[in-house]
Amino acid sequence: MNLKYLFALSISFMLTAQTGFSQSKNLPKLKVSPNQHYFVTEDGKPFFWLGDTGWLAFSKLDREGVNKYFEDRKAKGFNVVQVMVLHNLNAVNVYGDQALMNDNLADQITSPGNDPNNAPEYDYWDHVDYTLEVAQKNGIYVAMVPVWGTNVSKGNKVSKEQAVKYAKFLADRYKKRTNVIWLNGGDTKGNEFQDIWNAIGTTIKTNNPDQLMTFHPFGRTDSSENFHNASWLDFNMFQSGHKTYAQETDPTAFKEDNYKFVLRDWDLKPTKPTLDGEPSYEGIPHGLHDTLQPKWNANDVRRYGYWSVFSGASGYTYGHSAVMQIFRKGDKPAYGNKMLWTDALNDPGAGQMIYIKNLMLEFPFTEGTADASIIANQGEKYDYLPAIKGKEYALIYTYNGRKITVNMGKITGDKVTASWYNPRNGEKTQIGIFDNKGKKEFQPSGKKEDGNDWVLILTSKK
């Protein structure tokens, strides 16, 4: 056994003793694709963002729960989890560790050492470190909100000076983490307290230029509305929200039509990726607050996913009411939730998200562009048919089993192969081979009803 190996082994043992867990291999750094619309890894491989909202994971999951959650999300194909670093300034984790001294954002409580088996050594920030390590072992990037927006927008509890010091602390602590993405803001209006958000964004980005950053905005708004030209913003994120068409009273809002955010952002300069970072959650009431309302279900989360991705989004974030709040026995429920987070992990929508990721990875999706001219019978609301194409493929989605009439000739080749793809189970069925000219009607199986969704795949016949 050579000395170099012995030295490396001793360093590994020392690291394990100091941290309570061994360092896993870093994930590839993420960057924006050459055409500026999508994500790729540092070695140029396409990266389709499939996110989950585990907002309260740092504070409400113990180490066992952290492992269970990330192992489950890995198994279901998720590669990003969105989490709040601090939900409140008085944040305390499941072990009773407080994050800040006197609720001061600039004064973090840290202790020497970080051994999980030694309580006095293991502080709030060590548990964040542990969670990031578990995520990394499971191939998952963690998109972290430094401090949730209400802490800034209500009561003037955070000054610009505190924000800068806190952001510098985060940047220094997580500088070497390749699986960290930053979500500035946190369900907050981008036109308010911009000095705070710009201070946090600029401080982190200046110190950690290789970590991607965006702004997580208030419902039915988009980071591009206020921060598109910010030097720290690498990609846009919108929150399409939780209201139905009928519940939205703002005549200027896109309502449930989340694809409109994508189409608008696509044409902005400078070019940046965009995605829906918070659509309607599975299991949450329509409009959020009236618990007597129907709940959004798997059909709805699929629809938001395909609508946005087939319009050119760089990925999609799913969410579940019970999982996003890590609802446990004895917790006070939000939004009328009664399901334990451990049970909600297996709700239908969560298991179906992998099929949109698998489908996109079949194709060179980073060359994809939305093309409304493919559709000859476009509809509105739930009859809308989004279409995206590359040089040799086109993908069209119907939410309700509606007939699709295609203007052929939009991809290369004299002939095209047509197939149906089932978003509920990922099964593919070939339809046939057709001339790539004129108009062609394609009728999915089943009734015309919401949730009978299908993807029409057209590929150039070689």
Residue 336 zone, left/alpha/beta (φ > 0; ψ -120 to 50; rest): left
Instruction: Indicate whether 331 and 185 sit together in one domain.
Output: yes
pLDDT of residue 90: 97
Q: 9 lies in a domain?
A: no
Q: 345 lies in a domain?
A: yes
Domain endpoint, select from 339, 366, 393:
366
Q: 12 lies in a domain?
A: no
Q: 158 lies in a domain?
A: yes
| Cα–Cα distance measured from residue 422 to residue 74, given in angstroms and rounded to the nearest whole number | 22
Instruction: Indicate whether 356 and 455 sit together in one domain.
Output: no
Q: What is the DSSP letter of 186?
A: E
Instruction: Indicate whether 347 and 378 sit together in one domain.
Output: no
Instruction: Indicate whether 333 and 416 sit together in one domain.
Output: no
Instruction: Indicate whether 67 and 167 sit together in one domain.
Output: yes
pLDDT in tens, the chain (462 residues): 343 333 333 333 333 433 455 678 999 999 999 999 999 999 999 999 999 999 999 999 999 999 999 999 999 999 999 999 999 999 999 999 999 999 999 999 999 999 999 999 999 999 999 999 999 999 999 999 999 999 999 977 899 999 999 999 999 999 999 999 999 999 999 999 999 999 999 999 999 999 999 999 999 999 999 999 999 999 999 999 999 999 999 999 999 999 999 999 999 999 999 999 999 999 999 999 999 999 999 999 999 999 999 999 999 999 999 999 999 999 999 999 999 999 999 999 999 999 999 999 999 999 999 999 999 999 999 999 999 999 999 999 999 999 999 999 999 999 999 999 999 999 999 999 999 999 999 999 999 999 999 999 999 998
Instruction: Indicate whether 362 and 379 sit together in one domain.
Output: no
**Number of domains composing the chain:** 2
Contact residues for 14 (Cβ-Cβ < 8 A; gap 6+): none
CATH label of the domain that carries residue 144 = 3.20.20.80
**Tens-place pLDDT, residues 210-243:** 999 999 999 999 999 999 999 999 999 999 999 9
Q: 114 lies in a domain?
A: yes
Instruction: Indicate whether 298 and 325 sit together in one domain.
Output: yes
Instruction: Indicate whether 175 and 312 sit together in one domain.
Output: yes
The neighbouring-strand residues paired with 38 are none
Give helix 298-309 / helix 348-361 axis angle, nearest 10°: 20
User: Within 10 Å of residue 446's Cβ, how many Cβ atoms?
Assistant: 12
| Cα–Cα distance measured from residue 257 to residue 67, given in angstroms and rounded to the nearest whole number | 36
Instruction: Indicate whether 278 and 410 sit together in one domain.
Output: no
Give helix 63-75 / helix 124-137 axis angle, nearest 10°: 30
DSSP H stretches of helix in 247-363 = 259-266, 298-309, 321-324, 341-344, 348-361
Q: 2 lies in a domain?
A: no
Cα 258 from chain centroid (whole Å): 14
Exposed / middle / buried, residue 441 (Cβ in 10 Å: 0-12, 13-18, 19+): exposed
Domain endpoint, select from 345, 366, 387:
366
Q: 156 lies in a domain?
A: yes
pLDDT of residue 1: 38
Domain endpoint, select from 366, 399, 419:
366
DSSP strand pairing (180-188 vs 141-145): parallel
Instruction: Indicate whether 308 and 380 sit together in one domain.
Output: no
Q: 6 lies in a domain?
A: no
User: Within 10 Å of residue 228's Cβ, how many Cβ atoms?
Assistant: 18
Decide: 97 and 122 in contact? Cβ < 8 Å. Answer: yes
Q: What is the DSSP letter of 194?
A: H
Instruction: Indicate whether 95 and 192 sit together in one domain.
Output: yes
Tokens of 56: 């309260």
- Find the domain containing 195 and state its range: 18-366
CATH label of the domain that carries residue 423 = 2.60.40.1180
Radius of gyration of the chain (CA): 23
Kindly report the pTM of this predicted structure. 0.95
pLDDT of residue 22: 67
Buried b (16+ CB within 10 A) or exposed e, 292-314: ebebbbbbbbbbbbbbbbbbbbb
Instruction: Indicate whether 90 and 135 sit together in one domain.
Output: yes
Contact residues for 258 (Cβ-Cβ < 8 A; gap 6+): 238, 240, 276, 279, 304, 307, 308
